[in-house]
Amino acid sequence: MKRELTEIEIVAIGDELLSGATIDLNAAVIARTLEPLGLRVTRKTTVGDVPEAIAAAVETALQRAGAAITTGGLGPTQDDVTMEAVAGVFGRGVEFRKDLWQALEARWARRGRAIPESNRKQVEVPAGAEVFPNPRGTAPGLAVEDDRLGICVLLPGPPHEMENILRDSVAPYLGRRVGSGARRPFRRIVRTAGIAESAIAERVGDRLADLAVDVAFLPEVDCNDIRLTAWGENEDETSGALDEAVDRVRRILGSHIYAEEEIELAEAVGVLLRERGLTVAVAESCTAGLIAGRLTEPAGASDYLWGGMVVYDDKAKVELLGVSEDTLARHGAVSEETVREMAEGACRRSGADAVIAVTGIAGPTGGTDEKPVGTVWLAVRLGASTVTALRHYPGTRDMVRMRAAQGGLDLLRRTVLEELR
């Protein structure tokens, strides 16, 4: 009889993970994929390519949780020892799987090549293992199971191989072993711009305390998410509380909310521009292309982005945007007057419906008492009017630049929304 699973542990394998040469991104993907099934990751152990360490980690993981997923160590080299180690834990040997080998041979033959002999090792799998196909690589996914120890799933380390097998094979396989009555988390996400995490936390305060909803504030450098979680057996059971929670957050935070799904601000701005049939041009000094870069991350940005001008040197501000030398001399490159002329010049030059302009002091040098590092002037031109805003962003050069780019995008979003009211 199979146990009903509620917990699982991850065992990540590879010297490169311990030495710091590689950052493990697989564990987060696994946790986020399994959580909606009602399966919680309760521990992760990272070990090197050492058979005894792998075996010990898998064994204690199975003792605690009854289920484990390993990542890595399924390659063709001598370093790759996960299969033998896990087979040992289950008191089994490995067996050469002729069917898998022939399938690999056929795949390579279709590309007109012969498969290297070294790959044979990758189809010497723990005896009796269930095999999951790997469309993107030569190492199969595997599951070994017995009634006494539980289930151990083995996945290859390269993320693009791992993710496919996890999603297409492992999630359904493990999902069948989770009890139907298991409580699972159902989530909503609310994404904000232009408001600090502490301000969000203060305003939301305990105003959701009467709902059976967990509230998490997730700060990033340039935006802050609110994650709302309700636990239940199914969607219906939780949607009432979640709807009410989202509704209250909406009323509390208003136009600071730019999306109720996991999309970037630039993408939300793109969607808004496309809906309204507006085009945009950018005029960037300290952000130097970051806003244009973000706006073009989603495909199809040519629907709304005309292009832009990176005016890092003051000569470029004059030549490309027609900012007057007198304005630069009198008020400086980081001033309301300059950012306004930048926006107006970019509008004339491009003929775009809207313009975002940014000029600021990203640091670490260049600050003064009057205009310290982090001082940024933003402008948005829409139709015949220009709005400007002064910001003081904290953080390193990188952070100031990222925040300034986000600030410019958010000012455009708000200006377009205002315009529509």
CB 308 within 8 A of CB 284: yes
Determine the residue type at 290: L
Residues 9-68 contacting a copy of itself, CB under 8 A:
17-25, 27-32, 35, 40-48, 53, 57
Return the residue of 180, 365, 370, 421 that touches a copy of itself, per CB under 8 A: 365
Q: Which of 93, 116, 254, 364 binds a copy of itself (CB under 8 A)?
A: 364
In whole angstroms, the minimum distance from the beta carbon of 346 to a copy of itself comes to 11
- Nearest alpha-carbon partner for 178 in 2, 6, 1, 40: 6
**Stretch binding a copy of itself (CB under 8 A), from 116-124, 199-207, 252-260, 346-354:** 346-354
159-218 residues near a copy of itself, rule: CB under 8 A: 216, 218
| Smallest separation (angstroms) from a copy of itself to the CB of 373 | 10
Nearer to a copy of itself (CB atom), residue 59 or residue 129: 59
Smaller CB distance to a copy of itself: residue 29 or 131? Answer: 29
Query: Whole-number minimum distance, CB 359 to a copy of itself, in Å?
Result: 12
State which of positions 370-399 bind a copy of itself (CB under 8 A): 397-398
In the bound state with a copy of itself, the residue whose beta carbon lies nearer, of 46 and 255, is 46
How far apart CA 241 and CA 160 sit, in angstroms, is 36
Question: Measured from the CB of residue 182, what is the shortest distance to a copy of itself in angstroms?
Answer: 16
Q: What is the DSSP string of 183-250?
A: -EEEEEEEEE-SS-HHHHHHHHTTTTTTSS-EEEEEE-SS-EEEEEEEEESSHHHHHHHHHHHHHHHH
Look at residue 38 and give its three-state secondary structure: coil
CA dist list (Å): 179 to 41, 48, 61, 176, 315:
16, 34, 20, 8, 68
Would you say 68 or 125 has its CB closer to a copy of itself?
68
Q: Draw the binding track, 215-234, toward a copy of itself (x: CB under 8 A; -: no contact).
A: -x-x--------x-------
Length reported for the chain: 421
CB of 396 to a copy of itself, least distance (A): 9
Query: Closer CB to a copy of itself, residue 64 or residue 92?
Result: 64
Taking CB under 8 A as the criterion, the residue among 89, 230, 301, 339 binding a copy of itself is 301
Compare residues 232 and 289 and give the one whose CB is closer to a copy of itself: 289
Q: Residue 269: CB partners within 8 Å, gap ≥ 6?
A: 295, 409, 412, 413
Least CB distance to a copy of itself at residue 283 (A)? 10
Residue 287: exposure state from Cβ atoms within 10 A (0-12, 13-18, ≥19)? buried
Which residue from 296, 324, 332, 337 is in contact with a copy of itself, where contact means CB under 8 A? Answer: 296
DSSP secondary structure code for residue 169 in this structure: I
Cα–Cα distance measured from residue 163 to residue 159, given in angstroms and rounded to the nearest whole number: 6
Nearest CA to 320 out of 297, 350, 296 is that of 350
When binding is defined by CB under 8 A, the residue of 244, 316, 322, 367 that contacts a copy of itself is 316
| Nearer to a copy of itself (CB atom), residue 232 or residue 293 | 293
Q: Yes or no: say if 130 and 143 are a contact pair by the CB < 8 Å rule.
A: yes
* Cα three-residue angle 200-34-136, rounded to 5 degrees: 115
Binding of a copy of itself at residue 261 (CB under 8 A)? no
Nearest to 327 by CA among 318, 319, 349: 318
| Residue numbers 272-291 binding a copy of itself by CB under 8 A | 279, 281-282, 284, 286-291
**Closer to a copy of itself by Cβ: residue 129 or 357:** 357
Give the 3-state secondary structure of residue 178: strand
Quick one: 152 or 333, whose CB is closer to a copy of itself? 333
User: By CB under 8 A, which span of 76-84, 190-198, 258-266, 316-324 interacts with a copy of itself?
Assistant: 316-324
Q: What number of chain residues touch a copy of itself (CB under 8 A)?
A: 74
Strand 257-259, strand 7-13: pairing:
unpaired
In terms of CB distance, is 129 or 373 closer to a copy of itself? 373
Report how far residue 140's alpha carbon sits from residue 117's, in angstroms, rounded to the nearest whole number.
16
